[in-house]
């Protein structure tokens, strides 16, 4: 986990995003991504932050798919540990 600071508040956050709905709200200079979790999670991104998130998520997805394709012992999410979707 990473320590994040915003307006003087420091938090560590770890969230598993699985099947929860994700919606967004556009504002003049930002976009809010709302992860409809049991406790609610909203991430506010600037245009550069959104581009960075998309770039990193796209790279991570490609590497994840590649690692699953080359690992015959990989458990699919349905075979793995019992994780409640969208815990915050």
Q: Hey, where are the domains in the chain?
A: 20-65
Cα distance between residue 83 and residue 8, in whole Å: 32
Instruction: Encode pLDDT of 57-67 as tens digits.
Output: 999 999 999 98
Each residue's pLDDT tens digit, 32-46 = 999 887 777 889 999
Query: Which pLDDT tens digit goes with each residue over 73-86?
Result: 666 554 444 444 45
Distance CA 86, CA 26 (A): 23
pTM of structure: 0.64
For residue range 3-19, list pLDDT tens digits in order. Answer: 555 566 777 877 777 77
């Amino acid at each position: 986990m990473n320590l994040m600071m915003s307006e003087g508040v420091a938090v560590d956050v770890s969230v598993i995003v699985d099947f929860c709905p994700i919606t967004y709200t556009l504002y003049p200079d930002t976009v809010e991504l709302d992860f409809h979790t049991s406790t609610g999670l909203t991430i506010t991104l600037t245009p550069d932050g959104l581009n960075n998130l998309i770039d990193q998520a796209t790279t991570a997805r490609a590497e994840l798919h590649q690692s699953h394709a080359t690992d015959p012992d990989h458990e699919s999410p349905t075979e793995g540990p019992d994780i409640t979707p969208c815990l915050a």
